[in-house]
Structure 1
Amino acid sequence: MERIHHINPFAKRDTHTKNTIIAWYLLTIITWLLSIVVSVYYTFHSPHDGVWPHRKIWHQNYAYQTAFRMNHIIASIYWIVLFVFQGVYIAHLFSGNVNRVNEACAVGSHFILNNLFHFAFVMLFVRSLFGWAELFIILNFINLTSLYFRHPGYARFIHYPVVSGPLAWTFVAIYWNGAIMVPHPASLVARIFGNIFIWSILVYGLFYIVIYKDYTMGLSLSVLSAAIGVSQFLRQVIAFQWIFAFIIMAILFVATILVAVPTGRNARVASARDADTERAPLLGEN
């Protein structure tokens, strides 16, 4: 069992060897760049292979009149911000602070797997292989959910770009791609199911906000709900889906603010308390 734990890349460790850290350097950067390159390339280019209809990422999005179609501008901004923060996370692998390096390495295996799953999803999605694409989304959802519950307390510079940001997208993408995958995605039945299942975004977001006080998850899902709401509104003004999406966005955003503001205040109080504790021995010596 000890040997299995030693070779298991997903095992929890407090410290990492030099060789392990170097491996994380290389694999993290390579897979992250792979994820970025394939996302950017297929945003502007269509694949030229395969027998199925192949389109750019957002052309696929607009080709199907589903209840979870997103606004490409908001969704693209979401991903640009996420990629930038992921770059900040990777920079901490090169930090001189040993604790930061160990924390960054601790989630490295899941982050690498997330990048590979995202790469596979994009390659399949643009080639209209939606069933296989859904499989990789679900596998990534399992990967990121496992990561969340195993490492819920890391600093935000790790938590958002590696855990909550990708997890929020993956949860919504299950419906986004799944709605395209089902037969007759623009039918009345599909729209009714869309009107029902969109509320799971609210339930999912409130779970993390209430239980874990995770405002990054709340904000991420709020932005993605806005992307759905704007797209549905532009598609059809008289419809329930965009109304539901904006209600969900508003509730999640307000809940996020209610959690985030006290969290910041508590952090300042804790910092002041720690400063007083550090000064106490000095005061006692006088």
Structure 2
Amino acid sequence: MPFAWTLFVLFWSGAVTVHSDNVVAHVFAYIFIWPLLIIPTVALLVFADWSFGYASAFLMWGLGVGQFMDMKLALQWIFAFVIAAILTIESALTMFATGFSGLAHPTASGFDEVLENVREGHEDAPLMEA
């Protein structure tokens, strides 16, 4: 969630900074909402990080509702709902694919190894050796 929020705030702060009152700023807002789909999709495909996908989708659902209530940017709420729906579906597919097909999260094997060492009573502390 922190990375998703940071990414979201970067683009949000950029839109607020330019005071999107003119047509050019509206066009930039329409364009720069799409990286909020592209970056989480890459994280889902490369890292299978479905929690980042869900966090990004949650923020996009919120953006869509906020823009729908505000209605200053006529297309941005539609784009936000489309992006949120796509991210929700992609995150669910990634979650089920990694959970039920035997595919492991890239860091899961290292974590399982540490848990196994703790259960067996082995201490992996090379700095404690003399």
TM-score normalised according to structure 2 size: 0.73
Match of 1:174 in 2: 10
Q: Per-residue CA shift, 1:121-179, capped at 9, x if unaligned? A: xxxxxxxxxxxxxxxxxxxxxxxxxxxxxxxxxxxxxxxxxxxx101100110011121
In the alignment, does 2:96 pair up with 1:261?
Answer: yes
Equivalenced residue count is 104
Contact 2:97 2:103 survives alignment (8 Å): no
Question: Which residue of structure 2 aligns with residue 19 of structure 1?
Answer: none
Q: How much has 1:238 moved relative to structure 2? A: 7.9
By relative contact order (CA 8 Å, sep 6+), the higher-ranking structure is 2
- Residue 174 and residue 258 in structure 1: after superposition, are their counterparts in 2 closer, same or farther (change >3 A)? same
Match of 2:21 in 1: 186
Q: Does 1:222 align with 2:70?
A: no
Q: CA deviation at 1:226?
A: 0.8
Gaps of 5+ in 2: 105-130
2:114 aligned partner: none
Deviation at 1:229, TM superposition (A): 0.5
| Pairwise CA distance, 1:267 | 5.6
> Unmatched 5+ residue regions in structure 1?
1-164, 270-286
Kindly, what percent of the aligned residue pairs are identical?
A: 37
Distance 1:240 1:253, change over 3 A: same
Distance 1:191 1:237 in 2: 9
- 3-state DSSP class of the match of 2:57? helix
Paired with 1:268 and 1:226, the residues of 2 have a C-alpha distance of 29
Give the structure-1-normalised TM-score. 0.34
Listed one character per residue, the Cα deviations across residues 89-138 of structure 1 (whole Å, up to 9, x for unaligned) are: xxxxxxxxxxxxxxxxxxxxxxxxxxxxxxxxxxxxxxxxxxxxxxxxxx
